[in-house]
Structure 1
């Protein structure tokens, strides 16, 4: 956290059983306090692809699992990746077993294009899993956040 940032205190009410589960979770994850854990939860929620403006620049990954024996699927995936070469920085491909491959595509670009690539992958026959995860939004460093005093 930036030294110049102003921390705002606010209260959260929740059932006893939920706070006990949350406290156990944050201890297991190594947090020093609830505030750090809540800040990370908020950051994660704000990075959900559905919460990001389509024209925003972002970076992240598309993870997929697919059956490479499905007719022409490896060729289709390669062609698709060539269609989005400007958004793709790197790929990692590994064989899970005789039929299934896991591929991680590191992407950076306009969120609309990243979503489009993800959607085109997930609907292909033979793709059993595909997920877009945004891990960075350009221009969203802590110094550029604007706080609304009505939310304190």
Structure 2
């Protein structure tokens, strides 16, 4: 672990202390590491070929022509990348949609950006979680050992 010294003004320090209290962080260092990880993972700037999980959220105006059918069709078109989808009705016209996908940064970012540009889609947010994949040969519970892949969350791309 590397040591970094930073200077922050009193107001920002007070906000950091409030964040620590709200999240249960045990030290300013822990709180700053958490904030840096969140800030870096929220930016879709990983290499286009890097593997990731993505959480795509937005609001959908269901009354916009064909949007209520185009959004689910877009997920079906990417059935190999879509892990889960949730649509929460807010009122008679609007819903919050959340989709969890896996794939390359380039693929999921392209999908999310195209979705956010649709008329009737607002408040779009893309959150990327970098992962690495490796193969392991071992036993789960009982039976012979076998090889399969494991995903591991990485701290950055």
TM-score scaled by length of structure 2:
0.79
Query: Would you tell me which structure has more strand in proportion to its own residues?
Result: 2
**Secondary structure of 1:17 counterpart:** helix
Q: Hey, what does 2:65 align to over in structure 1?
A: 71
Kindly report structure 1 stretches of 4+ aligned residues shifted beyond 4 Å.
none
Q: Hey, what does 1:149 align to over in structure 2?
A: none
Name the count of aligned residue pairs.
137
For 1:48 and 1:104, the matched residues in 2 are separated by: 16
How far off is 1:77 after superposition?
A: 1.1
Greater relative CO, 1 or 2 (CA 8 Å, sep 6+): 1
**Secondary structure of 1:49 counterpart:** coil
Taking a change above 3 Å as real, the CA distance of residues 36 and 129 of structure 1, as seen in their structure-2 partners, is: same
How far off is 1:90 after superposition?
A: 0.7
Do 2:16 and 2:31's aligned partners in 1 also have CA atoms closer than 8 Å?
no
Query: Would you tell me which structure has more helix in proportion to its own residues?
Result: 1
Select between 124-133 and 40-49 the one with higher mean Cα deviation: 40-49
| RMSD, aligned α-carbons | 1.9
Q: Hey, what does 2:98 align to over in structure 1?
A: 104
TM-score scaled by length of structure 1:
0.81
Residue 89 of structure 2 corresponds to residue 89 of structure 1: no
Gap runs ≥5 in structure 2: 133-151
